[in-house]
Amino acid sequence: MTESEKTELRKALIGQQQHVLADVNRHSKKTGSGVIADETERADKIAENMVEHQLGFSESKLLEKIEYALDQLDHGTYGICDDCQQEINIERLKAKPSVSLCITCQTAKEQAS
Ligand SMILES: [Zn+2]
């Protein structure tokens, strides 16, 4: 993976994270808690606090995956399959930057469940 690909994927992940958090904010305004995540630094904490109470299961899972992927980007381990430790196809990452399994392991997992 090149540096420019990493930058591109980081941007995609942060964009996705902000999109999910914007949904959370809309929801929280409706319910009256009124928390606004305007900085990425605060986003993590807000996500932590809200995940169990206000987010749907799929949204909280997605946020977890995004945070995990961003963490891996920081540590240089991004793009490695969690199961088989092989590099995940770059086109797959571009299509869905929060994935942590290669297509082979993902398919196997889906068939198993
Ligand atoms: Zn794999």
Closest Cα to residue 66, out of 14, 5, 3? Answer: 14
Domains of the chain, by residue range, sit at 3-112
Contacts of 49 (CB under 8 A, 6+ apart): 35
Instruction: Tell me what pLDDT residue 32 has.
Output: 52
Near ion ligand 1, which residues have CB within 5 Å? 81, 83-84, 102, 105
Length of the chain in terms of residues written: 113
- Any idea which architecture 3-112 has in CATH? Up-down Bundle (1.20)
Whole-number Å distance between alpha carbons of 2 and 23: 32
Residue 111 Cα to ligand 1 midpoint, Å, equals 14
Give whole-number Cα distances, 61 to 2, 8, 51, 52, 99, in Å.
Answer: 28, 22, 9, 10, 12
Residue 85 Cα to ligand 1 midpoint, Å, equals 6
The pLDDT of residue 34 is above 90 = no
Q: What is the pLDDT of residues 80-92, one digit of tens each?
A: 999 999 999 999 9
Q: What is the pLDDT of residues 38-61, one digit of tens each?
A: 666 666 666 666 555 566 778 889
